[in-house]
Amino acid sequence: MRKIVAVAVLGLLGALCSCLRAQASDPLDIIRQAAANWTGTLPCGGWDCVCAFKKPRGCCCVTTPLFQLEESTFMQIVGLWKDLQDLTNQIEEVTGGRNVTFAASITPITGCFGPFNRNVSISYNNVSLNQGYGYNPSMGTFTAPYAGLYSFSYTVYSNLGADGERLYHKVQLMKDGQVIASSWEDNREDAEDSATQVVLLHLKKGNQVYIELVLGRFVCGDTQGYNSFSGYLVYPLSDI
């Protein structure tokens, strides 16, 4: 079979070469004319169909296998699209479009916040972000709208403005009245200091997280709003 095909191809090339020598027109026109003038029979496995070159007798085409390849490729693309859509639906089912994040800082102060005779929740009322509306700036409290893993960060900063004064602050991150993390300073060696904490918490819907200033302590001289509180939902969970 291969020998027959090879002979046929050589014959076709010979005919084309004759046409190319006889004419000096556009090469594509020469190829079309050579194909149209071909009168032999090519052994192409029984494929015989209408060709683009003026329907010459015995024209071998690959329309059927090309169509089958196109159809197979298309069905594979459709299958991939369905798989991608299913994955998107699964992700949407897990996340539920739940975008929760907030960021806030205290109003700049030249004096001091505190001391008080009890622990006081700090109201970070300069809100720059509150997506999902879980944060209440008047109370300084974040209430989890969904169960999930959350990340929280806070910074405590104090500047007494004079060397030798006593830095005496302590704040703590609370979850429903339970101390989760704390930061404090108690010295006369520097008049300005800050600290930052980042924690991950599993929360149920309705759990509350906030920052409180411990009784007897104070923060001072934050004219830039460095004291800040922020958090976001890392990923939701079924209620735990």
For the cut 80, the answer to whether the pLDDT of residue 136 exceeds it is yes
* Alpha helix segments (H runs only) across 23-62: 27-37
- At 208-217, the pLDDT tens digits run 999 999 999 9
- The C-alpha atoms of residue 33 and residue 48 are separated, in whole angstroms, by 19
On whether both 14 and 107 belong to a single domain, the answer is no
Q: Please check the confidence at residue 156 and state whether its pLDDT lies above 50.
A: yes
Task: Say how many CA atoms lie within 13 Å of 179 toward its Cβ.
Answer: 10
Distance CA 19, CA 34 (A): 6
- The parent domain of residue 35 ranges over 2-61
| Statement to judge: residues 143 and 216 lie in one domain | yes
Tally of domains within the chain: 2
Among residues 61, 76, 111, which one ends one of the domains? 61
108 in the same domain as 187: yes
Whether 111 and 215 share a structural domain:
yes
Q: Average the pLDDT over 169-193 and give the result.
A: 90
CATH number at residue 214: 2.60.120.40
92 in a structural domain: no
Whether residue 85 lies inside any domain: the answer is no
Q: What pLDDT was estimated at residue 5? A: 42
Does residue 74 lie in a domain region?
no
What pLDDT shows up at residue 163? 74
Q: Is the pLDDT of residue 26 over 80?
A: no
Residue 91 lies in a domain: no
Q: How far is CA 177 from CA 14, 109, 205, 230, in A?
A: 94, 27, 16, 18
Question: Same domain for 106 and 222?
Answer: yes
pLDDT at 105: 96
Whether residue 181 is predicted with pLDDT greater than 90 in this model: the reply is yes
Which residues lie closer than 8 Å to 80 by C-beta, 6 or more apart? none
Residue at 89 is within a domain:
no
**Percentage of the residues of the chain whose pLDDT score is greater than 90:** 45
Do 21 and 107 fall into the same domain? no
Q: What is the CA radius of gyration of the chain?
A: 39
- Domain assignment of residue 165, yes or no: yes
Residue 138 in any domain: the answer is yes
Is the full-model pTM beyond 0.75? no
Among 61, 78, 93, residue at a domain's last position: 61
Task: Tell me which of 73 and 176 has the higher pLDDT.
Answer: 176
Same domain membership, residue 223 and residue 121: yes
212 domain-assigned: yes
Return the higher-pLDDT residue of 8 and 152.
Answer: 152
pLDDT at 70: 79
53 pLDDT more than 90: no
Nearest C-alpha neighbor of 132 from the set 158, 97, 178: 97
Same domain? For 56 and 109 the reply is no
